[in-house]
Amino acid sequence: MRKLLNAAGVCALVALAAACSKKSGDTNVNVAQGGSSGAKELSKQKISRFNYFLGAPGFLVKNSEILRGSINECLQDGLLAIKPEMISGGGGEGRKAILGQNFQAAAGRSDIIEVLAGDLYDPMRVSRVDTAAGYLTLTYMGALATVADVVAWNCNFNSPDSRCDCSTEEKAKQILQRCIPAYSDADVGPLAGKFAAECSVADVAKKREILAAFIASATFAELR
Amino acid sequence: MVAVQKRKPFLACRMLFVMFAGVAASCSSNPKNDITTVKRGLTGVSDQHSSGRPTPMSTREALEFMDQNCFECHGPGKPLAAAFSMPAREILLKDASWLDGSALNQTAYQALVHKHLKKNDSPSAMPPDFKDANQAKKLPNLIAWFQDSLPGAVREAEIKFGTRPEFRSNIEVQLNTKCEKIITGWDFQNRFMSRALGRQINPLEPFERDLLSESEKNAPASAEVRKKVVDVLLSRDDLKKKFEDVAVVGLAQKIANVGAIGVNGKTVEPPLPPAAVEDLQSEFAQLVKANYEKVSYPQLFLMNKVMVTSNTAPLYNSVAGEVNALPQPMQEKYRETCATPAAGTWAECTLSAKRGNFFGTRGFLVSKPTAMFQSNNNYGRGGDTHQVIFGEVLMANTDGVSGEKPRPIPQCLEVTADKRWFVKKKGDLSSERSAWGAIAIPFYGRVCQGCHLNRHLAAASVVFRPFGFSGEIIFPRMMNSANGNPVKVYADMNLIQPVRANNNTPDDRTHITHTDSSATEFKFIDPAFYRQLLEELDNSEQATCFPDPSDPLNMDKAKYANDLARYADILIHQNDTADTPVKGVATVRGLTRFLPSTFANTNSTNIEIIRDVSAAFSSNDGLLLPMMKAYFQTESFACSGR
């Protein structure tokens, strides 16, 4: 009994599963309860069984770290840079600029996600009571659309080793597989054809729009 | 000398933190809430209990009981929600997961036990009133439900408050944790990689694509599959490095509360260089990253090391003139010299004994800017310490109910001179007054004692005293100087009210000090008083104490502290026994709450996470990596959210 009580002392909630016997192959554990101060010992021990249903963590929105990793894996590194010609008034494409003048100070920086991290749930700037992001917000979607525009702008669709090219069904399928690995082949198949059909336009600006729309979508933002 | 009116009972408790200590406020009963089904929850098996033991309520009955007898005081927006919060009815009555996730469930249990035993003890007996006499008779059945359904909470209550022969829960319980729908092996791999490695699977990369067999990919992720995914991925050096940068650092950032350190326009006062503030945000994460595989998780908080950059090293260099002016025995305690590393690099530095450990670092201190000169009086830092270790958020309530007549204050706590109160109406010494000082607040009421004695905020106020708003050390001699006197500096920055130069005559200064509500004499606060407070720590190793919770007035059982090193050591080891295989188990409680909030979208934890992380703690010398792996391998992490 003494041994049991000692075990109990280190075996429940905070007081830890050191002496808890965990059966192999399942998640059962014996939580022996008892006390050592002033308690009468019972001659019999009873076992009570009950099921404990776990709450699900739910799906999450990609935080800025996961988003960066996803874009790098999905397309390629180096697509997050902010170039002066992307910015309104910065030259280059004039009215086709994708960033407002408030991005002037960010011109030349290599990572649009870092610039917008606060709007994209930055895990490196969390507070102790925060939880991981569980829902989409307009702020998030707006920031994601900006990131997507920058990524698509930086894509070189004509390079033979470009991973941005979505103009054939096979390439579109690869992008979908890389970008949303949670999708099964059955999910990807029908989407790839539609994606490729949209993407197979000669106009680079249009191509960018289509790719950006995909990256900015809720599907891309959420994790299952 | 001015006569002070006796304060009225049940006055609002001001300038303090309040916790669940029990209050005799009246809870009116509610109309019965109709619920037709409880889809999830805990099912007690009443016919298996030993004879004489009350039959446990069903979960539905237990939830209805709490709804009818507790909700009116503890529901959202209700008077005692800050002390112990219950969710909205639809959540409350759905299942018991809200109570399982509550850090205060053990206190709730103990309050019920005290009610049944008619015991006038802490926490106060609850509920004060029952809906009807029949409800009162059911209390033992509710207690039995707790014992069956929340055994961890019961065990924790018994450790904290002692066992009662009448309610000794010596039944062996076997828990079967079960997720209703587990995601597939492929989705689990993707989920783990996303949240722990910062990116999704690359299905075109053979190693990642073929880690699981086709059948493993498509079936619900079994315990074996979960282990395989976590172990195999983390066996690769490149992915392990990614894990450190994303998961280990991310967890540490949350624990360090970096979001509160001068970002997004928040200021740090007294001002620190922006580059230093930015580096302070990564200070603890760098320490964890450098040590998490060789130092146990609790030791990460206790080691006398800090990581510095060229921007932050100057913040850890003592003012030589102040150190040399100290009495010889004190000089080494205050002295610290952190060499400046090359720009862009991190280096380890040894903290002064005065700072002691993580809780004395600039990063921790500046995340909760407070000082002994203002009403918060470092209680916030004490609350944050409590949260880091135990995961329990102490809710500030500076204007709530104060509760029943306070219990006797342990003698060892009364050694401090910090018995400050202040008058509410400027210059009017007969106006309403509020407690402020470390030992004044516990005199105010029993609710106040719940945090300030039971959660050791009074002791925190004492040991955090030598630190200013941005974590700078305040030397006793500074209180006498004309230049650099922190009282003047802070007053000039409007961080505190001006403090008079001496205590000769009353004017519009509002800080006063006296012992308790019955005292009829007081004096005004002046710099000499603050110097006295600082020197309390240097002059005695028993500057403050931690009374034994089961016998708080017995000074032989109290533990004493006069600095952060000892203070944190006592807190972190408070649940250890001679048989505890790895010391510092109290920190596991905090970790099991930080893990889900970092890697899933919930601040609550559950018995499966607690159990598995605790087991990993005990069998792996308390190292963080095995505990994190244990969390990622739980069913909870693999549970479907849809």
d(CA A62, CA A121): 8
Contacts of B145 in chain A (CB under 8 A): none
pLDDT of residue B469: 93
**Does B153 sit within 8 Å of A14, measured CB to CB?**
no
- Residue A74 C-alpha, separation from nearest chain B C-alpha, in angstroms: 8
B344-to-A217, B256, B310, B312 alpha-carbon distances in Å = 37, 21, 7, 11
Q: Quote the Cα angle for A23-A24-A26, to 5°.
A: 80
pLDDT of residue B44: 30
**Does A52 sit within 8 Å of B175, measured CB to CB?**
yes
Among B175-179, B451-455, B593-597, top mean pLDDT goes to B593-597
Element (H, E) at A61: strand A60-61
B431-to-B419, B443, B499 alpha-carbon distances in Å = 18, 18, 19
pLDDT at B17 over 60: no
What is the maximal distance between C-alpha atoms in chain A? Answer: 87
d(CA A120, CA A75): 19
pLDDT of residue B401: 62
Nearest CA in chain B to A31: B173
Contacts of A27 in chain B (CB under 8 A): 176-178, 223, 608, 612, 635
pLDDT at B499 over 80: no
Contacts of A125 in chain B (CB under 8 A): 253, 258-259, 263-264, 281
- At residue B100, what is the residue type? D
Instruction: Lowest mean pLDDT of B196-205, B240-249, B284-293, name the range.
Output: B196-205
**Does A38 sit within 8 Å of B155, measured CB to CB?**
no
Contacts of B207 in chain A (CB under 8 A): none
- pLDDT 10s digits, A51-76: 566 666 667 889 998 999 999 989 98
In a mutagenesis test of the A interface, which of B239, B254, B387 is the best target, namely the one with the most A β-carbons within 10 Å?
B254
The mean predicted confidence, pLDDT, of chain B is 81
pTM: 0.80
Nearest CA in chain B to A48: B173
Contacts of A223 in chain B (CB under 8 A): 190-191, 194-195, 200
* Alpha-helix residue ranges (DSSP H) falling in B464-543: 486-492, 527-539
**Does B257 sit within 8 Å of A127, measured CB to CB?**
yes
- Cβ–Cβ under 8 Å, residues B141 and B55: yes
Nearest CA in chain A to B632: A57
- pLDDT 10s digits, B98-114: 887 677 888 899 899 88
Q: What is the pLDDT along chain A (224 residues), one digit of tens a residue?
A: 333 223 333 233 333 333 333 433 344 443 333 333 323 333 334 444 555 666 666 678 899 989 999 999 899 889 999 998 888 876 655 557 888 888 888 888 889 999 998 889 888 888 888 877 777 889 999 999 999 999 999 998 888 888 999 999 999 999 998 898 888 888 888 899 999 999 999 888 899 999 999 999 988 888 87
**Does A38 sit within 8 Å of B178, measured CB to CB?**
no
**Residues B133-156: what's their mean pLDDT?**
83
Among B40-54, B347-361, B427-441, B588-602, top mean pLDDT goes to B347-361
Nearest CA in chain B to A123: B250
Nearest CA in chain B to A64: B198
Residue B356 or B608, more confident: B356
Nearest CA in chain A to B181: A56
Instruction: Give B39-69 as a DSSP string.
Output: -S-----GGGSPTTSPPPPPHHHHHHHHHHH
Residue B361 or B2, more confident: B361
Q: B349 falls in which pLDDT band (50, 70, 90)? A: very high
pLDDT at B324 over 80: yes
**Residues B198-211: what's their mean pLDDT?**
89
Residue A49 has its nearest CB partner, among B176, B249, B387, at B176
pLDDT of residue B24: 29
**Does B615 sit within 8 Å of A18, measured CB to CB?**
yes
Q: B4 falls in which pLDDT band (50, 70, 90)? A: very low
d(CA B597, CA B607): 15
Tokens of B610: 């607690």
pLDDT of residue B38: 21
ipTM: 0.78
Contacts of A12 in chain B (CB under 8 A): 151-152, 154-156
DSSP character for B600?
Answer: S
Q: Quote the Cα angle for B509-B514-B520, to 5°.
A: 100
- Residue B225 C-alpha, separation from nearest chain A C-alpha, in angstroms: 11
- Cβ–Cβ under 8 Å, residues B534 and B479: yes
**Does B198 sit within 8 Å of A13, measured CB to CB?**
no
Q: Quote the Cα angle for A20-A22-A28, to 5°.
A: 110
Q: Quote the Cα angle for A43-A47-A49, to 5°.
A: 165
Contacts of B639 in chain A (CB under 8 A): 54-57
